[in-house]
């Protein structure tokens, strides 16, 4: 089984981004894998977005919900790119296929006619 297959099967991955001074910062995130790339959605004002704008190098590893990465956990280094509105909508669809809670909040937003939380998609190429 490849690293990408194991990342795809996991519920959470730790997305490690880097500050300007090179310090690594890891965050557990929901994700989807499609076409050999890993997709994540977050808010546009998240610190990880700011760090990716400064340094697109990231490391992705299988983790638990609290972000703990086992010593033998599969990991891969890649290049992150921030997506536009159309790309972000595609990421939402991918995440909705994998996570019921994403579908549920999407339905609730439509039913209650609320505005959706602003989001930005991130694609990681390996």
Beta partners for 26?
Answer: 16
> Which CATH number is 3-125's, of 3.10.310.30, 3.40.50.300, 3.90.1300.10, 2.30.110.10?
2.30.110.10
* Residue bearing tokens 């609730």: 108
- Cα angle 123, 86, 48 (rounded to 5 degrees) comes to 40
Q: For residues 63 and 25, is the Cβ–Cβ distance under 8 A?
A: no
Return the sign of the alpha-carbon dihedral for residues 109, 87, 64, 17.
negative
Please say if the pLDDT value at position 74 is more than 80: yes
What is the domain partition of the chain in residue ranges?
Answer: 3-125
* Mean of pLDDT values over 72-81: 97
| Helix (H) or strand (E) run with residue 98 in it | helix 85-98
Q: What is the pLDDT of residue 1?
A: 78
**Is the confidence at residue 111, as pLDDT, over 90?**
no
For residue 110, pLDDT over 70 is answered with no
């Amino acid at each position: 089984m490849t690293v990408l297959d194991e990342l795809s099967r996991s519920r959470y991955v730790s997305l490690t981004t880097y500050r300007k001074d090179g310090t690594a910062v890891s965050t557990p995130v929901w994700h989807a894998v499609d076409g050999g790339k890993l997709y994540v959605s977050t808010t546009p004002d998240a610190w990880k977005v700011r760090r990716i704008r400064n340094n697109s190098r990231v490391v992705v590893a299988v983790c638990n919900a609290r972000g703990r990465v086992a010593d033998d956990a599969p990991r891969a280094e890649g290049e992150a790119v921030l997506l536009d509105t159309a790309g972000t909508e595609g990421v939402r669809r991918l995440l909705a296929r994998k996570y019921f809670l994403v579908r549920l909040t999407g339905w609730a937003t439509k039913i209650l006619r609320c505005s959706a939380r602003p989001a930005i998609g991130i694609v990681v190429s390996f």
